[in-house]
Every structure is written in structure tokens, then in C-alpha cells.
Chain A
Amino acid sequence: MWEASPLTYVALIIAVLLAIFPIAWSFIVASRDNSSVYKIPPPLVPGGEFAANTQRLLANDQAHFLIGLANSIFVSSVVTISVVLFSTLAGFAFAKLRFKGANALLLIIIVTMMIPTQLGYIPLYILMIQLGWLGSLQAVIVPFLVKGFGVFMMRQYAMSAVPDELIEAARMDGCSTWRIYWNVVLPTLRPAAAVLGLLTFMETWNEFLWPYLVLDGDTPTIQYSLKILATGNYTTDYVQVFTGTALAIVPLLLVFIAFGRQIIGGIMEGSVKA
């Protein structure tokens, strides 16, 4: 591999700074008073108002920020657990179990990955009306409990990561298929399942359009709360908007700092296989 020249470092560091700036800026503004939004040049060091701004944000009775936060944690967790569970189950079946129609079913799953989700939003919306789910969290959870991409990813991983001998040995020892999944396959799939879980959690956390369509302002997700903040009657209090933006990023930032290496590995590995 070539040595990196100092110029390469300079270019990359500029790129990283540009990437970080808008996020850092939202934190800086969130820690200052209202006039800082209009400061020219923009403030580049944090102030001491973060706690006060957060308090004002939490007291905002339109944005329901805490409810949005709690809802997002709940919704993202349920969807993540479900996607990981069903993806590893189905991925295991496709990779290691023999059954009639497996190839055709797998093909269907691959095709589903190419359908843009937005195409189904109108009838899905009508369906939600008919189920009476508008305004409740089921509407943002149930349609997303499975993911074709997840099944495919787990299948690819299980093909190489789970040795056939291990499964045969477990069978000889009298394990049922479920026990084999739970005690042998699942632990082996853990690294890939973790990446799938992280990606699913982030995706669900960041989802904007669908929650905005089917929920109402009293039970928002966090992204919906942000939208209310940015467009509501409080728009003169821009620092509050920035505080919300910054706080909404914090959980993902923590996840990213803790698992960034795995997430990057997952993205890079997934792309080579695709």
C-alpha cells in the first residue's frame, strides 16, 4: 500500500471537519443564548446555557420532546429485536436447512429489497385507517418488523460462518432445530446480527416520513418532535430547535462511538458482497 503523503492527511482532515461541523455547530448553538443563532461570524465555542435550553425544551408543551424520546427508544428497540430475530431465523433456514421451494422464496426476498418503501405508503396508510391504528405506535412498528435485507445478510453470513459439521453434531446429540438455532447458530451469527441490529436501530430512529404521516402530535417519535419544534409556534426560539436537534443526535452518537468500527465493517463488507 502507498504511504499517505501529508497532503492526503490535510485533505482527509478537512473532509472530516466538514463532516463534523454541522453537528458540532448544533451543539454549540444549543449551549448558548438565542442571539447566537444570528451571530456573524458564528460562535465556535460552547456557552453555558445548555441546561437552561434543555429545560425550556422539555417544558415545551407542543413538541412533547420526552414522549418523543421515549417513543423512539421503544419503537426502535422493538423493531430492532424483531428484525434481528426473524432475520437470523430465516437466514439460518435459507443457509443451512433443506426445504422445498427454498430457492424461489429466497429470490422473492431479494426482489423485495428493490421495491422502494414509499411506493406502498398510500395503501399502507389506508390500511392503517382500516385497522384503526392511526395515531398509535403499532402503526410505526408492525409494518417494519421484518426486513428482506436482514434475511439476505444473515443468510450470506451463516453460509460461511456456521459449519455444517457443527449443526450435524448438534443433531446427533439430539438437539431440536430450535435448540440448534438458539444454542449453536445464534451465538455464531452474533457479530453480523449486531451490525444488522445497529443499522436497523439507526434507521428506525431516523425515520421521518412514515411516523409523521400516521402519528399525531401527542404521540410523536423524536423526529416528529423535531419537526413540530422547527415549524411550530415556537420558531422564534431557534436555540430550542437546535437543542432538540442536538439531543436527538446524542443516542446515535453514543452508539456510533461505541460501535463505529463494527458499523463501518458492516457497511464495507455488505457492499463487497452486493
Chain B
Amino acid sequence: MSVNTHAAGMPRHAASPPPLDPGQRRKQARQVRLGRLDLKMSPYLYVAPFFILFAVFGFFPLIYTGWVSMREWGLIKGDQGFVGLQNFQEVLADANFWNAMLNTFGIFVVATVPQLLLALMLANWLNRKLRFRTALRMGILLPNITSVAAVGIVFGFIFADRYGLANWVLQSLSLDPVSWRGSRWASWTAIAFMVDWRWTGYNALIYLAAMQAIPRDLYESASLDGASPTRQFWQLTVPLIQPTILFTVIISTIGGMQLFTEPLMFNYGAAGSGSGLENFQTIAMYIYTTTFEGNFKYGLGSAMSWLLFMLIIFFALINFLLVRRSLKGSVK
């Protein structure tokens, strides 16, 4: 393909390069051109697949969502044309939407706060001289490699009302069994349990990586100053890995706002079908039912998707500002 391959190979066959006839010269000139073309075009060729595929299946849908969100569009009636912000108004006036919003936030808070605290503790324990280090790390990461659908099924049984493992544990502690889908708090807790089971180990490893980057001598001088391990953890480790904590909070926010499969499988789970859905229907689930069940209201669903997207960006920004401010505070 390129001139250089050929030119470099030639002298090996001939003691001195033979004079070129016009045909060979033309060939060489063509190869020089090809070589330049190769240098110039290759980078674009190599990045092109990403941009072409992303444009069609990533960017276009994103813009299209915005367009669809301003149209009346259903499966049966088809595209009924431009309606402006009517879909957004309809969504904002919909009690089910706000209920789903409450559930999404509720589950997010109930899941994320303990998850990140627990991950911090796990990372702190893992950040020592340990035997079986790899095995322990693999152990806590294991839940993360399993599929949400499978997790949902197993936890559906763990949180079954009768014969469920969770209720069995409660009863062995002489507590009352809980109707896990019957109340808001119970269903939030059960779903938060699934989310945390899957993600705590992953976050712990991320914290561990950040902790290992902290210079040793900071701890040595803290010890000399008489700071206890607990104090060192809260006043040295945690502030120093704050950017990483911000990173995990943002990732958890994005994931939490889109929570779908866990509550869906929880709903289908043992003895749960349909009952108490209003207690734990998330926004993503509501978008799904609006868009892909019954009347296929694409316009409404798209409007909700955009609202959700703006919400995610809004929270990412708030997180960012909060942490930046507290970072500044600690520098002072």
C-alpha cells in the first residue's frame, strides 16, 4: 500500500540500485503519493467509525428525542404534528409523574447514602497489609458482574412476603414480617438493598484506588501528632479522596435517576405482580410504560426523557459546586 515498504525492500536485492525506467519511476511517484495520502487520511479513517456510528445511533436520537417531545405522537394515531410544550405541561401536571419522581429520589437517597459510606469503610479495610488480597477484592466485586435481571429475580424471592428469606430473618429476631411491596418505605428499602448489593464493592475498589495514591508520610506525621486511626480516616483520608467521592456521587446520581430493571423485576418478583406498584414505580419505569405499553405515547415519553436528562445534569452540577466549595474550604 505504501511506497516505503517497497523502497526499503529493494536495495536488499540489488548491490547498487539499477537506473529506473520511466515505468518504474511512475510507479514510485504513485507510491509516494499513496504514502502521503496514507499519512494524511489514516487518522480520519481510524476515528471515522466512532463518529459515524455515534452520529446515527447516539447523537441523532438525542436531537430526535427533543423533536418528538414537542409532537403529539402515538402508535395508533401516528404523528399528529407539532404541539409545542404541551407534552411537557401534561407531564408536569401528571400526578403519576410526581409520584414516580418521589420514588426515584426516595430510592436514590435510601440506596446511595449507606452504599457510599459502606464502600468507604470497605476500602479503608482493604487498604492494609492483607493476605488473600486478590481473593477478597474479587469477592466484593462479584455482585457487580452479575446481571440486574438475575439479581432482581433472586432478590424478588428474598423479599417475598411469605417464605421470603428477609422475613424469615426478621421473624427469627422476633420482629414482625414486612409486606415488602405493600408500603413505600419497605419497597424502597428492598430495592435499595439490590442496588447496594450490586454496587458497594465496585465503589469500594474505586475508593481503594484513590486511597492508595495518598502519600504514606502524611499518615506518619498525623500519627506523630497523635491522631487516632479514626481521626486520620475522617480528617485525612476522606478529604484527600474527595474528588473520587464526587465522581462516585455523580455516577450514582446518573444511575439512580435511571433506575429501572431492579424495581421492574421486584414488581414481577415472587407474589408481587402488579400490587403496590405506585410505591416504587420510578421515572424510568413510568417512561417505559408511557412509551412502550398501551398507546405508545412517544411524544409524552420523550418529554419525560428530556426532563429526566435535565434533572441529571442539574444534579451533577449541584454535586460539582458543592464539592468544589468544600474543597476550597479545606484549602483555607
A residues neighboring B (CB under 8 Å)? 1-4, 8-9, 11-13, 15-16, 18-20, 22-23, 25-26, 37-38, 40-42, 86-87, 89-90, 92-94, 97-99, 102, 105, 108-109, 112, 114-116, 118-127, 142-146, 148, 151, 171, 173-179, 181, 202, 205-206, 208-209, 213, 223, 226-227, 230-231, 238, 241-242, 245, 248-249, 252-253, 255-256, 260-261, 263-264, 267-269, 271-272, 274
Contact = CB atoms under 8 A, between A and B. Distances in A.
B314 interface: no
B222 interface: no
Contacts of A174: 2-9
Contacts, number: 284
Contact of B147 (A11, A97, A249): A249
Name the residue among B43, B65, B229, B292 with the largest chain A CB count within 10 angstroms.
Answer: B43
A114 B291 CA distance: 24
Contacts of B113: none
Contacts of A151: 47, 50
A19 B204 CA distance: 13
Contact of B46 (A42, A93, A226, A271): A93
B47 A105 contact: yes
Given A3-B128, A40-B163, A118-B305, A19 B61 contact: no
The DSSP consensus for interface residues of chain A is helix
7 contacts: A19-B141, A42-B165, A89-B47, A116-B258, A226-B153, A227-B149, A249-B146
B143 to A, nearest CB: 5
Interface of B: 1-9, 35, 38-40, 42-44, 46-47, 49-51, 53-54, 57-62, 64-65, 68, 121-122, 125-131, 134, 136-143, 145-158, 163, 165, 168, 197, 201-202, 205-206, 208-210, 213, 216, 229, 244, 247, 254, 257-258, 260-261, 265, 268-270, 273, 284, 288, 291-292, 298, 301-302, 305-306, 308-309, 312, 316
A109 to B, nearest CB: 7
Given A12-B122, A271-B244, 19 more contacts: A1-B129, A4-B131, A11-B121, A15-B140, A22-B143, A23-B143, A40-B168, A42-B168, A87-B50, A90-B50, A93-B47, A112-B59, A118-B305, A119-B306, A123-B60, A124-B57, A146-B49, A223-B147, A253-B145
Contact of B129 (A2, A231, A249, A268): A2
Contacts of A93: 42-43, 46-47
A264 B270 CA distance: 34
Contacts of A255: 145
B141 A4 contact: no
Contacts of B306: 119
The DSSP consensus for interface residues of chain B is helix
B105 to A, nearest CB: 17
Nearest to A7: B125
B50 A120 contact: no
- Those 7 A-B pairs whose CB atoms lie nearest each other, nearest first: A174-B4, A16-B139, A120-B61, A123-B64, A174-B8, A268-B209, A143-B57
B302 to A, nearest CB: 5
B155 to A, nearest CB: 7
A252 B153 contact: no
Nearest to B292: A213
A99 B44 contact: yes
Contacts of B51: 105, 108
B213 to A, nearest CB: 6
Contacts of A89: 46-47, 49
A37 B163 contact: yes
A119 B197 CA distance: 26
A176 B141 contact: no
Given A19-B143, A86-B49, A118 B43 contact: no
A118 B284 contact: yes
Contacts of B9: 174
A272 to B, nearest CB: 5
Nearest to B312: A116
B64 A126 contact: yes
Contacts of A126: 64, 68, 298
Contacts of B148: 206, 208
A264 B134 contact: yes
